[in-house]
Structure 1
């Protein structure tokens, strides 16, 4: 058993490199609000569970340290690629929140967004937190973990690193996140166009009255009302896209 210990350490390092990289960026698990020791402990526990499953697909330990380091780095890059695409899809909430904030007159209302690690529109932060909650309520995180395990069948270790495919995958995810964000904010975009068009007509009819300051509270109130109605449909569309992302790997 003493001579087999390096092999176990090598296999564990490979699995931890991929699983840890995925969980570092995966929505719900890799949030900055989660303490680093907890994320690290969870990644180690996932490694202990996944290692026996992934062991048949892992290569033998090379005799020299340089190829070992190369395999570990390659596994880290694959994990970062998978987690990064999932994180790009999460940015849909930020796109939708920014557009909705501009349409409803709440663009200047800022708060700290834990998913982005910086200040963001108040509605974008609310949508992000709603989506995070839905990930665990709908048990979508189980599908994420299954996709991480099955990634060994999609991206086998010691194989060629699919740089071109990864770039195309990330580009498609970026385009999808922007398209979905605009689609989710479409009701508010239509409302704002109609509202400001009517506002312009009223300002022409009554130039002596400050229409903008009078109509601003109505803009915020009606915008929040439409947002409350559309939130359910927005969440359903985003969850369907995230489920599709996970099933691509499962």
Structure 2
């Protein structure tokens, strides 16, 4: 019979807190469409597999109530910070779809996206679903789990948060926002040219109803350019998703 000390049980709960906080920010494994019981069960399973049992002696002293509460909050911050990298990654692609939808007229219709927990346009959800499909194809979920195991080496349990850097978080956010804009740039540039052409048409032929003419024209142009540019933006999108795991570790100072 395997005996577990109070200290080992406490550290296991701390590790579980970190894992569940990360899974809560991963739409593929822990999104709102996944039942809470399944997420908790998956968190317990992953924690059991990656928990560093050998680093905690059975005769180690147990933490008192206040230090244990502080340690739980610390692990929650670590898990949410690591999950922020995933939020920013999928959020950049969501922003790309939102930017395209705003210029093409698709933003007029909003739909609930259960995977992200908010509403968005059709193109917004298209980019998110495409990103999740690619994420699973390239085994991104397995790479995130491997990076999750490495977080216990970068920031061991019940340790200081001095390696967390606000500057790194802001830098990562800026880079991902720029990537999202770059993905949307070809389509948005074509829509801008369409707007300029419609503006010139309105000046030269005022009797033409530019608004009614421009809406289907911009939708068609947006979809056409999106289909043509997708082959060129796909490698960058794959690279963006492949770096989700290393990006987690960088946010934690690894």
Q: CA offset at residue 173 of structure 1?
A: 2.6
1:188-230: CA deviation from partner (whole Å, max 9, x where unpaired): 1210121111111111111111133123212211211111222
Quote the Cα distance in structure 2 between the aligned partners of 1:239 and 1:140: 10
Q: Distance in 1 between matches of 2:208 and 2:36?
A: 56
Does residue 162 (structure 1) correspond to residue 162 (structure 2)? The answer is yes
Picking from 52, 55, 68, the partner of 2:53 is 55
Give the conservation status (yes or no) of the 8 Å contact 1:10–1:61.
Answer: no
Instruction: Mark the runs of 5 or more structure 1 residues left unpaired by the alignment.
Output: none
Following superposition, the deviation at residue 100 of structure 1 comes to 0.4
Q: Does 1:240 align with 2:239?
A: yes
CA 2–125 in structure 1, closer or farther in 2 if over 3 Å, else same: closer
- Superposed, which structure 2 residues align to 1:1-250 within 5 Å? 4-51=4-51, 54-57=52-55, 60-162=60-162, 165=165, 167-248=166-247, 249=249
RMSD after superposition:
2.2
In structure 2, how many angstroms separate the alpha carbons of the residues matched to 1:58 and 1:168? 33
Aligned pairs, number:
247
Determine helix, strand or coil for the equivalent of 2:213: helix
Give the Cα separation in 2 of the matches to 1:158 and 1:139.
Answer: 30
Runs (4+) of structure 1 exceeding 6 A deviation are none
Cα distance in 1, alignment partners of residues 4 and 131 from structure 2? 45
Q: State TM-score, norm by structure 1.
A: 0.89
What is the DSSP-based 3-state SS (H/G/I as helix, E as strand, rest coil) of the residue aligned with 1:112?
strand
SS in 2 for 1:16: helix
Structure 2 CA distance, aligned partners of 1:102 and 1:4?
56
Q: Could you tell me how far apart the structure 2 residues matched to 1:160 and 1:15 are?
A: 15
- Change in 2 beyond 3 A, CA 1:2/1:49: closer
Gaps in structure 2 of 5+ consecutive residues:
none
Q: Secondary structure at the match of 1:160?
A: coil
